[in-house]
Amino acid sequence: MDLPTRDPIPPGTLDMLILKTLSRSEESHGFEIAESIHRASGSVLRVEEGSLYPALQRMLVKGWIIGEWGRTADNRRARYYRLTPAGRKQLETEVEAYRRVSEAIGLILQPG
Amino acid sequence: MDLPTRDPIPPGTLDMLILKTLSRSEESHGFEIAESIHRASGSVLRVEEGSLYPALQRMLVKGWIIGEWGRTADNRRARYYRLTPAGRKQLETEVEAYRRVSEAIGLILQPG
DNA sequence: TCGTCTAACATAGTCTATCTATGTAATGGA
DNA sequence: TCCATTACATAGATAGACTATGTTAGACGA
């Protein structure tokens, strides 16, 4: 029983989580982003690669992030992503909507 | 511009919201459930009929709710649903998972 | 230098769940 | 008799995350 605690990413929140993760690091490559989300969530959430990379592609196309090929510390190829101003704006929008809906659900779940 | 404030139901939460709504009323028919969710959410969330009725069907099949045809106050046909013990258990499970994931996302969204 | 391992990226296809659009039946009122 | 409304129902579209699989290139031991 050493499987790590782990829930799937709720549909609709992945972009927000990636954007938020990028917002607090100068730049990151894919694996770093996934690890970062896992760690920052207290090991509750894990992004699968099959979700992560398509999401990064979509966000590149939308102009929310830019990506540049580079080298990791141990000299491997990796694509480094960073937020654009549009991405920062999008993050704000998504967090706002997330909080609104979250509070609404909280109201419904209240005991009573 | 009198469109009511309204966000879509986040995927994966509809069953929980319906179960919770039923848990606080002896019994309700479909329209009442939808109105109840809308009202209890502070008019933020609205369940579309095309989501509501299929969800009720699924939950009938799973044995989480039972439904009986009856009459509304103004003598219209309506199907009245109520929770089963299994439905009550399911509600607990879903709320627990929802809170766990919610907190995890909250951690990630923390400023810093 | 050979062979294997792994990191990192990529994508096709599937699945789940909500939404839009549409339709039915039944009741009450004009 | 005709129409509006309530309540239920369902087909099809759509979105988004998952599983499964594949590719590439560098690391590293023998």
- Domains belonging to chain A, first-starting first, are 14-109 (1.10.10.10)
pLDDT attached to residue A101: 96
Question: What number is the average pLDDT over the span A29-53?
Answer: 93
Residue B2 has pLDDT above 50, yes or no: no
Instruction: Quickly state the pLDDT bin for B76 (edges 50, 70, 90).
Output: confident
Shortest CB distance from B44 goes to which of A20, A21, A100?
A100
**Residues 16-75, chain B: which have Cβ within 8 Å of A?**
16-17, 20-21, 24, 37, 40-42, 44-45
- Bases of chain D with protein Cβ within 7 A: 6-12, 16-22, 25-28
**Of the candidates B43, B35, B42, which has an alpha carbon nearest to the alpha carbon of residue B18?**
B35
- Inter-chain CB proximity A42 and B107 less than 8 Å: yes
pLDDT of B34-52, one tens digit each?
A: 999 999 999 999 999 999 9
**CA A69 vs CA A24, A81, A82, B74, B96: distances in Å:** 20, 9, 12, 68, 42
pLDDT attached to residue A38: 93
CA–CA separation, B108 and A63 (whole Å)? 23
Shortest CB distance from A107 goes to which of B16, B41, B112?
B41
CA–CA separation, A38 and A6 (whole Å)? 9
- Inter-chain CB proximity B7 and A104 less than 8 Å: yes
Question: What number is the average pLDDT over the span B77-104?
Answer: 95
Residue A68 has pLDDT above 50, yes or no: yes
Whether any strand C atom is under 7 angstroms from the Cβ of B48: the reply reads: yes
CA–CA separation, B64 and B80 (whole Å)? 14
